[in-house]
Amino acid sequence: EPEVTQTPSHQVTQMGQEVILRCVPISNHLYFYWYRQILGQKVEFLVSFYNNEISEKSEIFDDQFSVERPDGSNFTLKIRSTKLEDSAMYFCASRGTREQPQHFGDGTRLSIL
Amino acid sequence: KNEVEQSPQNLTAQEGEFITINCSYSVGISALHWLQQHPGGGIVSLFMLSSGKKKHGRLIATINIQEKHSSLHITASHPRDSAVYICAGGTSGSRLTFGEGTQLTVNP
């Protein structure tokens, strides 16, 4: 069964550094999402992406965050200057149509030192 | 603002027991998702419901639109069912708003 792939599984970065989290959504999917889960808390929405542009973003998704679909297969989340509070598990998800469920990747655990 | 609340937070059962996890949601949510999160963190979609009932193996999900309530049932529970079960709500195509999750432990 096709799946969403995220790399790396664990990223350790110094505070203030830029980090890029990578996702390969399921190949014929059109809607893409990033979520995060701080340890011990619930999953929170960051951003959704459709037709090569952001369709919705949360208040968490400030100017330090950006997303890109550079080559038609990858979907990346960039954090420009990481803070300690960015430490979390980041999940990518994709769906084929608006009526289908979202498929999640296994997540990238981001640790900011 | 879309809200999702689920109960209980923690649930311990003996193998073979029938399990129910409940979820209430606010106005504005038209599709309710049930998800499973394993200890390693990965999230698997179990059901997406906008009406009625769905069944997959030993898992059953129901939704009552008038009462804005959904339940996830597990029949003949097994230790491998131990995980965090999360309900999440959204509108068609939109972001998901997640509940806090229910930590289920099934003892042999």
pLDDT digits (tens, 9 = 90+) for A42-55: 999 999 999 889 99
Query: Could you check whether the bond before residue B108 is cis, i.e. omega within 30 degrees of 0?
Result: no
A47 CA: distance to closest CA in chain B (Å): 8
Confidence band for B1, pLDDT divided at 50, 70 and 90: low
User: What 3-state class would DSSP assign to A76?
Assistant: strand
Nearest-Cα residue of chain B relative to residue A37: B41
Average pLDDT of chain A? 94
The backbone region for A46, taken as left when phi is positive above 0, alpha when psi lies in -120 to 50, beta otherwise, is: alpha
The verdict on B9 touching A (C-beta cutoff 8 Å) is no
Query: Beta strand pairing status for A44-50 and B102-107?
Result: unpaired
Interface contact B44-A100, CB threshold 8 A: no
B94 CA: distance to closest CA in chain A (Å): 8
Confidence band for B28, pLDDT divided at 50, 70 and 90: confident
The verdict on A57 touching B (C-beta cutoff 8 Å) is no
Nearest-Cα residue of chain B relative to residue A57: B95
Average pLDDT of chain B? 93
The verdict on A98 touching B (C-beta cutoff 8 Å) is yes
Confidence band for A100, pLDDT divided at 50, 70 and 90: confident
Per-residue pLDDT of A69-96, as tens digits, reads 988 789 999 999 999 999 999 999 999 9
